[in-house]
């Protein structure tokens, strides 16, 4: 049984680069022709001349905030989609809100490659604990698993006891979902004596996988690897058994740029991940993910020859991910706006052991009784996450423009 999904994973790096750059002019021309927003953004660009990374780097970067604004002005996809309803199979909504199309091709989001690297094979049953509601994560992994020949149990999120009962009854070979929920399932199974030893492998994403969390999962006999993707692009990079960075997917051109600009950085420097996809339905050109990473030098010891990323290292903007959910500075501002007695605020994100925790620090003078509790309720309503609130003296928060202070260690 091959260790590799296909021959492209071990192809010489120069051949891969030549293939991607040869496809680039056609993708840009297609975007100019079929996606009105990209036709506007790339007006005057000679697609045939964009045959190098240097030429690509001269094109503008589209970021999530701009995409959301354009979608609001021109629903549903802001003029970035090149396919209509008849060519699409599904449409999803992620927080923002942002709408993402899913085409009808097999393994549309390209997750089969990451799943194969994590040990998933035809004939296995897989417990899929990603959401099937609104957001595309459940569908992303299901389509990749089906392409591999796996059978999928669509568990979705929450309902820990029911999920454990299903695992005990069906005895799946593996798990896909967030790492924190996998830890919850395994620890609850140990507490209740529920047999879950059938789970031997897992592919996780949606939040960071620090060493302590990986160790806590693997103490239960589950080998866990991680991958990195977005709802706009699908798979971007994936971990292999070598566990030395994340190997970039074969269908993408990935750049690391100085945050807030489109200027590529040298290998090894931390910057924003910018991706150009060859997807004909949603031909995003130089899409700024808002995520921070860095390119690792050399190639993976596993034999795959594509470029590698260090992994998710935080956000280029102040948007961050807490327990698998994005939290935006605008949400913090909306919480404060609901309560006129509240002054400036800062959301501090940290870890308590293996768990993500949030604390909203709010300046308030002569605050009425119950203000902290009201702020906490608003925080939960607007972010869908629980967090503590601490009232502090006026002018005590740093004036550095930071609304979200993420103090977790990523890597």
| Tens digits of pLDDT across the chain (411 residues) | 589 999 999 999 999 999 999 999 999 999 999 999 999 999 999 999 999 999 999 999 998 888 999 999 999 999 999 999 999 999 999 988 899 999 999 999 999 999 999 999 999 999 999 999 999 999 999 999 999 999 999 999 989 999 999 999 999 999 999 999 999 999 999 999 999 999 999 999 999 899 999 999 999 999 999 999 999 999 999 999 999 999 999 999 999 988 767 889 888 888 889 999 999 999 999 999 988 889 999 999 999 999 999 988 877 777 888 998 889 777 888 899 899 999 888 899 999 988 999 999 999 988 888 999 999 999 999 999 999 999 999 989 886 556 788 999 765
User: Do the domains 320-406 and 13-315 match in fold?
Assistant: no
CB 335 within 8 A of CB 355: no
pLDDT at 332: 87
- Homologous superfamily (CATH) of 13-315 is ANL, N-terminal domain (3.40.50.12780)
CB atoms < 10 A from the CB of 1, how many? 4
pLDDT at 366: 82
The pTM (predicted TM-score) of the whole model is 0.79
In the Cβ-directed half-sphere of 375, how many Cα atoms lie within 13 Å?
A: 31
CATH architecture, domain defined by 320-406 = 2-Layer Sandwich (3.30)
Tell me the domain boundaries of the chain: 13-315, 320-406
pLDDT at 271: 82
Measured CA to CA, the distance from residue 41 to residue 54 in angstroms comes to: 18
pLDDT at 397: 87
Measured CA to CA, the distance from residue 208 to residue 262 in angstroms comes to: 25
């Amino acid at each position: 049984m091959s260790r590799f999904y296909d021959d492209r994973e071990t192809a010489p790096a120069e051949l891969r680069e030549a293939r991607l750059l040869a496809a680039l002019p056609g993708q840009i021309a297609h975007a100019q022709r079929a996606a009105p927003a990209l036709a506007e953004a790339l007006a005057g660009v000679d697609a045939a001349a964009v045959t190098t990374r240097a030429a690509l780097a001269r094109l503008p970067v589209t970021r999530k905030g701009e995409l959301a604004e354009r979608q609001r002005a021109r629903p549903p996809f802001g003029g970035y989609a090149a396919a209509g309803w008849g060519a699409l199979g599904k449409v999803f909504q992620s927080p923002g809100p942002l709408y993402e199309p899913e085409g009808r091709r097999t393994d549309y989001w390209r997750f089969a490659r990451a799943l194969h690297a994590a040990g998933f094979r035809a004939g296995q049953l897989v417990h899929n604990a990603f959401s099937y509601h609104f957001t595309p994560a459940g569908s992303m992994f299901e389509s990749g698993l089906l392409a591999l020949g796996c059978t999928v149990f669509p568990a979705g999120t929450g309902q820990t006891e029911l999920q454990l009962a299903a695992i005990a009854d069906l005895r799946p070979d593996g798990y896909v979902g967030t790492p924190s929920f996998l830890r919850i399932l395994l620890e609850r199974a140990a507490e209740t004596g529920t047999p879950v030893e059938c789970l031997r492998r897992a592919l996780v994403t949606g939040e960071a996988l620090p060493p302590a969390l990986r160790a806590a999962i693997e103490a239960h006999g589950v080998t866990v690897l991680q991958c990195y993707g977005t709802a706009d692009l699908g798979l971007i990079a994936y971990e292999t058994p070598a566990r030395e960075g994340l190997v970039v997917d074969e269908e993408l051109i990935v750049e690391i740029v100085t945050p807030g600009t489109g200027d590529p950085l040298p290998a090894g420097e931390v910057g924003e991940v910018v991706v150009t996809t060859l997807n004909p339905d949603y031909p995003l050109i130089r899409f700024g993910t808002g995520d921070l990473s860095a390119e690792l030098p050399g190639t993976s010891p596993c034999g795959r020859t594509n470029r590698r990323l260090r992994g998710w290292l935080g956000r280029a903007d102040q948007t961050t991910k807490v327990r698998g959910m994005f939290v935006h500075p605008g949400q913090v501002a909306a919480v404060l706006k609901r309560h006129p007695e509240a002054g400036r605020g800062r959301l501090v994100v940290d870890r308590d052991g293996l768990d993500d925790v949030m604390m909203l620090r709010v300046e308030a003078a002569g605050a009425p009784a119950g203000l902290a509790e009201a702020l906490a309720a608003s925080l939960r309503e607007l972010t869908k996450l629980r967090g503590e609130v601490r009232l502090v003296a006026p002018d005590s928060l740093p004036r550095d423009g930071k609304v979200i202070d993420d103090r977790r260690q990523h890597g």
